[in-house]
Amino acid sequence: MKFNPFVTSDRSKNRKRHFNAPSHIRRKIMSSPLSKELRQKYNVRSMPIRKDDEVQVVRGHYKGQQIGKVVQVYRKNKVVITRLKLDKDCKKILERKAKSRQVGKEKGKYKEETIEKMQE
């Protein structure tokens, strides 16, 4: 069920917005989650898919069968990134995202005292 009235669930409208979006916005739209191993290693949840990354299909007929190399990126769909093509730009993005996640964890929603009280 859709809760936000300003977001459409119409397939044709979503496709139109995707293909007509400028490249800096499309890059964010084209982000896919990282595998559990990469998530632990880099402390990053998702990255934009790029050519020469390796992905695994997680839904549909080809789910979980094999890991494939990305030849062309036109629409990310139901995949998990298993290996990144690391270059200086990708490393810079990973460092930036990991740093911001670390700041969020340090901030925290609860203080240590409140956590101890909740556990008692």
- Written as six digits, the tokens of 67 are 């890991």
The burial of 18, by beta-carbon neighbours within 10 Å (0-12 exposed, 13-18 middle, 19 or more buried), is given as middle
Strand 54-57 to 67-69 pairing? antiparallel
Q: Which residue has the tokens 């990354």?
A: 53
Q: Which residue has the tokens 């996640």?
A: 101
The gap from C-alpha 88 to its chain's centroid, in whole angstroms, comes to 19
pLDDT, residue 33, reads: 95
pLDDT, residue 42, reads: 93
- 3-state secondary structure labels for all residues of 60-72: CCCCCCCEEECCC
Phi-psi region of 43 (alpha: psi -120 to 50; beta: other; left: phi over 0): left
pLDDT, residue 1, reads: 73
The verdict on domain 11-119 having CATH code 2.30.30.30 is yes
Q: Which residue has the tokens 């990144």?
A: 84
Say what the pTM is: 0.74
pLDDT, residue 88, reads: 94
Residue ranges of domains in the chain? 11-119
Walk along the chain (120 residues) and give the pLDDT tens digit of each residue. 789 999 999 999 999 998 999 999 998 889 999 999 999 999 999 999 999 999 999 999 989 888 999 999 888 889 999 999 999 999 999 999 988 887 776 776 667 777 777 777
